[in-house]
Amino acid sequence: MKIAYICDTGTGRNPKYFEDKNIFCLPLQITCDNRNYQDMEELTNDDLLNLLKEKKVMTTSLPSIGKIDDLMEKLKEENYDLIIAVPICNGLSSTISTLEASALNHGLNIHCVDTYVTAVVEEYLICHIKQWIEEKIDIETIKNNVEKIINSCNTLILPSDLQHLKRGGRLNSSAALLAGLLKIVPILKINKDTNGKIGVLDKVRTYQKAINKTIETIKNDINNQKNYLITIAHVDCFNRAKEVEELIQNAIPNATTQVIKLCNVVSVHTGLNCIAIQYFQQI
């Protein structure tokens, strides 16, 4: 059986990164000042940071429908029997439904995995599903592995720029002003329980309390289980991310940690100096 594997730049990776892995990666889109950019092809992490520093208001959208249709046409011409896709989740984008519709129009069989988030877990799943299939692991075991990873996954976001949230329409002016005056720090979450939509875990009065609450939540979720990968992603605040990593390592010494840049399509909405922590149990 000839299988095509598809993801997108919600992984935070340039599509060229996946070429050697024989995985198709579609660029999501970022719009700024009436110009549309192909994420990670026409707009790098550094480019996005410059726009954020200029206080630009940006929007994000699914991969170009034209690019999706072109890819499906290519897969049909090359006689693929099945497409397995792990894109940005349904709660954040209509990418999954658009992929499914395009595959149907081209007479292709597609299976999309909803991670209920995006970023590191998206890359981990698309690469490991491909590996497991190539190793001829039985389908039920693969399904169980995927379900276990998704069920264990949580993402906690600590935005620090409430004015950015206001400019982007995700927080009204009075709420932003009140939160600023009271020094309220929201802790956001996205996971299977929130159905892939942004929810609020808690609201605390200081950033340090937000960090403490976040680490307490992670520690309780992991509960001494093994093989967890904890990723601390940041938007132009590397030193702060490293400090958070050290606190996590002290609190949860049996987990693996890493610090990376937050993917562009999330950074657009969170603004500068944001910390996002994603963790899941590896197989």
CATH code, domain with 78 = 3.40.50.10170
Tens-place pLDDT, residues 62-101: 999 999 999 999 999 999 999 999 999 999 999 999 999 9
Nearest to 267 by CA among 233, 232, 218: 233
Tens-place pLDDT, residues 224-255: 999 999 999 999 999 999 999 999 999 999 99
- Same domain, residue pair 190 and 132: no
253: containing domain: 152-281
To which H or E segment does residue 201 belong?
Answer: strand 199-204
- Same domain, residue pair 9 and 134: yes
**Intra-chain end-to-end CA distance of the chain, in Å:** 25
- Same domain, residue pair 138 and 160: no
Residue 13 has pLDDT above 90, yes or no: yes
Q: What's the CATH number where 265 sits? A: 3.30.1180.10
- Same domain, residue pair 10 and 126: yes
- Please identify, among 136, 151, 166, the residue that sits at the C-terminal boundary of a domain: 151
- Please identify, among 123, 151, 179, the residue that sits at the C-terminal boundary of a domain: 151
- Same domain, residue pair 59 and 162: no
Query: For residue 170, what pLDDT is reported?
Result: 45
Tell me the H-state helices in 159-263: 162-167, 173-182, 207-222, 238-251
What is the average pLDDT value for the chain, to the nearest integer?
Answer: 92
- Please identify, among 151, 185, 203, the residue that sits at the C-terminal boundary of a domain: 151
Nearest to 105 by CA among 75, 64, 61: 75
Number of domains making up the chain: 2
Q: With 0.85 as the threshold, say if the pTM is over it.
A: yes
pLDDT grade for 162, boundaries at 50, 70 and 90: low
**Cα gap 48→126, rounded to integer Å:** 26
| Mean pLDDT, residues 45-61 taken together | 95
**Cα gap 91→118, rounded to integer Å:** 10
pLDDT grade for 198, boundaries at 50, 70 and 90: confident
Query: For residue 186, what pLDDT is reported?
Result: 85
- Same domain, residue pair 105 and 189: no
- Same domain, residue pair 147 and 252: no
Give 3-state DSSP helix, strand, coil % of the chain, rounded to 5: 45, 25, 35
- Same domain, residue pair 127 and 235: no
**Cα gap 106→134, rounded to integer Å:** 25
- Same domain, residue pair 135 and 165: no
- Same domain, residue pair 244 and 230: yes
- Same domain, residue pair 129 and 8: yes
- Same domain, residue pair 121 and 158: no
